[in-house]
Structure formats: structure tokens, C-alpha cells
Amino acid sequence: MNTIYKHFLLIIGVLVLSLTSCEDFLDREPLDQVGPNQFLSSESDLASFPINYYSSLFSTHGGWSTGIGRLDDHTDNQATSNPNLGLYEPGNRLVPQNGDLGFGNIRAFNFFLQEVLPKRTDNALSGNTLMIDHYIGEVYMLRAMAYFDRLKTYGDFPIVTTVLPDQEEILVAAAERKPRNLVARQIISDLDSAILLMQNGVSNKTRLTKDAALLAKSRVALYEASFLNYHRGTPRVPGEAGWPGASMSYNSGFSINLDSEIDWFLDQAMDAAKQVADKIELTANSGVLNPPSRAEFAGWNPYFDMFSSRDMGKFDEILFWRQYDLSLSITHGVTIYIERGGNTGLTKGFVDGFLMKNGLPIYAQGSEYKGDTFITDLKENRDERLQLFLFDEDDPVHIKSDSAIFTAPLIINLQEVRDVTGYRSRKFMNYDPSEAPGSDLTATAGSPIFRAAEAYLNYIEASYMKKGTIDAVADRYWRALRTRAGVDADYNKTITATDMSIEALGDWGAYSGGTLVDPTLYNIRRERRNEYLSEGIRYDDLIRWRAMDQVKNYIIEGFNLWDEAYKNSIYTDPKPGEVTSAGLVDDGSSDANVSSRDLSKYLRPYQILNSSTNTIFNGYNWSEANYLAPIPFRQMQLASPDGTADNSNLYQNPYWPAQPNAKAER
């Protein structure tokens, strides 16, 4: 067989079954590869298989960083020192010459199901039947999540649910890209299988559960419904003008009623979300905003603790989480990086979007907003999510023997430990002194993966998209979220006071397709944005909402530096051995460490250096092609009957040329 097909990584790959005996979500050394004749025959075999794939499909804390707290970097919510030029500098991102499409995990899951399902039918698996079914359900869910990742990245995608033989004709045919709505339906089907088979409460929720699968189903269905809705009229949606799949003979019989398809996905999202939200109450917010004393580093606010506890399984709202264990050297550095800035920061646009406790936007008459001269000012009487999860000048950084107060952002520290915008997130902070005794990588606070609050939000959004009104169920969920946040539960008060022209200045979610959305939908999106501060869902939301068409010369801003904060002694007093002793330099030169006061009183992290090498100085600029990733050129060749990209079953995505190293067309 031709070598090109021997290396067809899209479909074939090399199946390596890296297996563990671990029952919880803890990384351990894999066992030797085991053949199917000796493996996948008992409950313990089946339990071992899916664990190995958790870390590749679910983002969690790890290493020297703020963990999942950095996943919202490069959005309108959050920024890091180095901007993502591939997203926001037109012409920077190119069609890759090489690369695979991520079929390795999918093939492994296909192998598992192909081996195990016949044994289940024949009663040839030893062990507890309920748990055997549960582990099979886990693999269905993992395959669904692997496909969901591909759907978000590429849209249309090949659907392969069996292990294929190494035969050229079969492999090329299997590379046919299926319309994205059919890929999403396949994902929903896998999740339905998982829901039927799985249990709840397994391993203190460090393993996947039925409720997690229901939440994932609502997430996938809402994603696809909103993508089809807001991207309609573009070639990214099957059946619409310019859709590249229309030119493929294998799609000749495809048709779609877009309105009906969107409604179906919305129904799926609402049903799955309601099953979770009706069952699980939100974790309580005590209203206490800081540790009362050094001895009370935990327990002062369950809502705060939920994001930093070593045992997240005790919170009903947590549906799935990752556990860490110092004795197994399974740790992370999140706590100490939060203490030191972590090379990230929330944006002014994000912070400004949080409501006052009375339910009014900060600009509305009667809001009682105190301004942003100091961070303590802007937090006063605000949504308690902002008060809890944003450091201000008076908050404790830690409560060790030498307790420290935040005082001022570390905006000119070394890049690795810098407050990039001046607004430091406090979510995932654990005040237990043993979590960050020094510079060691010893933190063992858990990492949340799925929590039930998303089900509340998914239902509210899906039901409004479908009905154009807030139904009784959505009303109940929305009031619960606002009440937990310490905000007036009357969302209509907020909607009436919302000025979309002001909200649009700092929130890309105010738009879909370059047009402002209505105030009700916007406030649903605002609720989602604020509830999931620093949890890594923002980029996916912006993509599915088509919320970046209008991003042209968008300037990222942070805290108010030049009214009063610049006078703080942390920036002016010489301190031997301190990296901040140089003071503030705002002249735009290579020595500059802050943006010029002549540009704005707010810190602009990407306008510090004013030179031709700073290609993002004038702001973020979005390219429409980036709503989907380009197909690697080599994969197009490999999926072609004659080895040419022109005849490939893998057609290129809209506005990306079918050429290697080529720029996006728009």
C-alpha cells in the first residue's frame, strides 16, 4: 500500500492503550500495553480504561500557573502578557502544512466499544453489572466530548464509530466530512447512551457521572443551536450560501430545515439542563467576603470554598472534579501563582459589567456606584461574585504567619508573576497556609470541571432563544442565581435599565453577527459571563454567539492606574531585592513597563511598547475565518483519492485557502 495511506493519521493513528488501575481522577504511570485478549474482560479492566483519557479531554489545574484560571485569557474577559496574534492580528495565522485532526482518542474509544459491547451482550464480562454499564457509559461520554472538541474546532467533521481496517479505499471514504449538525446529533446520541448507562456519586464524583453527562448534553445542544442560529447566512452553516460541503458529491442528498434543527437542539438543551437544575440546588453564599481570622482559612463562605476545597465532592453543585494528592506527587501551583499575580488579569470591560447589588448597571441613575479610582471603591455594593473573586487593596493575599494585604497590583513584576491588567482574580484561591508554603509545587485544592450552575444558565438561554420570553422555569433559575450572587432577584429591573450602547463598549457578548442583541438576551449572557468568571467557557460562548465580527481595533484595558494608584509606594519606594523597585516608566520605549497616561488613565497592557514590533498596539482585530480552524494541508492530501488537495474528501473551511502556509482570506 502507498506510504501516504500507511501514515494516514486522520483515521488510522497508532492505538496505544495506556492503562491505569486508578479509580479516581489522578494521573499515574500507565501499565504496559495489553492486548484485547487479556484485557477488557472484567469490571476492573473496564474501570481502568477511561481514566487514562480524562486529562486529555478535561482542562484542570496543573504545573506552574493559575490553572484553569487562565483559560479565559485572550478574550474580552481576561488578558495575559503576550496577546494571541493568531487570533487578533490578521494574516498571522496560516494554514498549517502538517498536523493531525485529533482522531487518536476517538479511535481508542471506538476500539473499546467494539470489543466490550459484544461481550456485554454475551454476558462475558465479570463483575458488578451496574458498574460495568457505568464504565461503558463513561467511554460513550468520552467519545462524545472528543467529538465535541472537534466540532468546535472544525465544524463539519468525519463521523467514525468503528475501528477501520488499513485499506486505502475505506480510509479515504471515511474521511468524508459530515455536516456539523449531524456531528452534533451523533454527539447527543453518544451522550444519551452514557446517560442510560451511568450512575451518580461514583468515586466522590472524581469519575464521570450521569448528571455530568446530562450537563454535557445541554452544553453541546445549546452550542449547536446557537451556532446554527447566529451563523446562519454564512458558509459555516450547512445548506447556507457558500457552504463548501455543497460541492461534495457525497453530500448531494443532504438537506436541512434550519429552524426545525435549531428547535430540536434547543429542546434537547432545555430537557437535559432541567433534569440537572431541578435536582441540584446552588451552593450557598454566606455573604462573608474574607477569612474572619488566620485560624478560619476555610468554612467562612461555602460558595468561595467550592472553588478551592480539597474535597469538592461534598458540594452538590459540583458534578465532576479533579482530585490531587501530595503523597502521590499529584499537585499544582495555583495558590501560589494567585498570590503573585500569575501573568493574567481581568479586563475593565469585564469588571464594569457586574451589576450593583440593587440590580442596576453601574451607569444607571440611582446605582450608587462609587467609581473606580480604587478597586475597593468599584467593589462597594457590587454583585458579590465580583466582591468575592476580585482582589482589592484591602484583601488578604495570604494568612500565613506573615499575613499580607494585596495593597496594589503587581503590574511591573517579572512577567511570570505579574498582574497584567491590575485586576487579579481570586477564584480558586485557598487560604490554607499549607497550600502554598513557599515556592514549592504543593497545592492540592481540587479543580472543578462540571457544576450545576451551568444547567441553570443553559436552560435560561435555550428557553429564551426558543420562546422569546422568560418562562416560569427560567424565572426560577435566574432568580436563584442572582440571589446567590447577592443581587436583587428582579432581573426585569436590570433589563429596563440596560443601555446596550454602553454595554457594547466592554462586552463582546452584546453582539451577534455585528448587531446588538436585545437587552433581555444580553442580560442572560451577562449572567453567564459573571457566574463563570475565570472558568474557561468564554471563548466557546463568543464563538457560538458569533460575537466577534465587530472586534476591530479593540483596546484591552485594565484598572485605573493614573488617577491615584500610580502614587502607591509599591511603585515608587526603593526596596532592595524587590522586582518592583524600578518605578513606573510610561514613555513607550523599550524600557517602558506601563502604558502612557496620555493614552488613557486605565492600564493598557498591549500599548506599553510603542514600536513597529508591537503589531497589536492599535488593538485586537478579528478575522472571520477564525470562527473555524483551518484543515492542515497534509490531511487534505491524505484524504484524497489522488493525493491532491483539490480532490480531497476533506474540504477546507470557509475563508481558508486550500494551500499550505496561506493567510485567511477575510
> What are the boundaries of each domain within the chain?
3-65+100-277
Query: 455: which residues sit within 8 A by CB, 6+ positions away?
Result: 214, 215, 218, 272, 273, 274, 276, 277, 280
89, with CB counted inside 10 A (0-12, 13-18, 19+), is: middle
Which set of grid coordinates corresponds to residue 250?
457525497
Q: Say how far residue 488 (Cα) sits from the centre of its chain.
A: 28
CA 96 to CA 656: how far, in whole Å? 11
Task: Evaluate if residue 382 carries a pLDDT over 50.
Answer: yes
Q: What does R_g of the chain's alpha carbons equal in angstroms?
A: 25
CA 34 to CA 46: how far, in whole Å? 13
Which set of grid coordinates corresponds to residue 331?
499537585
pLDDT at 574: 56
Query: 159: which residues sit within 8 A by CB, 6+ positions away?
Result: 147, 178, 182, 183, 186
pLDDT at 3: 33
Torsional sign, CA 169, 171, 172, 175: positive
**Model confidence at 14, in pLDDT bands (50, 70, 90)?**
very low
pLDDT tens across 521-557, in order? 999 999 999 999 999 999 999 999 999 999 999 999 9
pLDDT at 13: 33
In the chain, % of residues over pLDDT 90: 84
pLDDT tens across 210-233, in order? 999 999 999 999 999 999 999 999
CA 118 to CA 113: how far, in whole Å? 8
Task: Evaluate if residue 21 carries a pLDDT over 50.
Answer: no
pLDDT at 195: 99
In residues, how long is the chain? 666
pLDDT tens across 289-329, in order? 999 988 888 999 999 999 999 999 999 999 999 999 999 99
Residue scoring higher pLDDT (170 or 365): 365
Instruction: Say whether 502 sits in a helix, a strand or coil.
Output: helix
Task: Evaluate if residue 167 carries a pLDDT over 90.
Answer: no
Tell me the CATH class for 3-65+100-277: mainly alpha
Please give the mean pLDDT across all residues of the chain. Answer: 92
Ramachandran region, residue 631 (left: φ > 0; alpha: ψ -120 to 50; beta: rest): beta
Question: Residue range 172-176: average pLDDT?
Answer: 92
Task: Evaluate if residue 17 carries a pLDDT over 70.
Answer: no
pLDDT at 25: 29
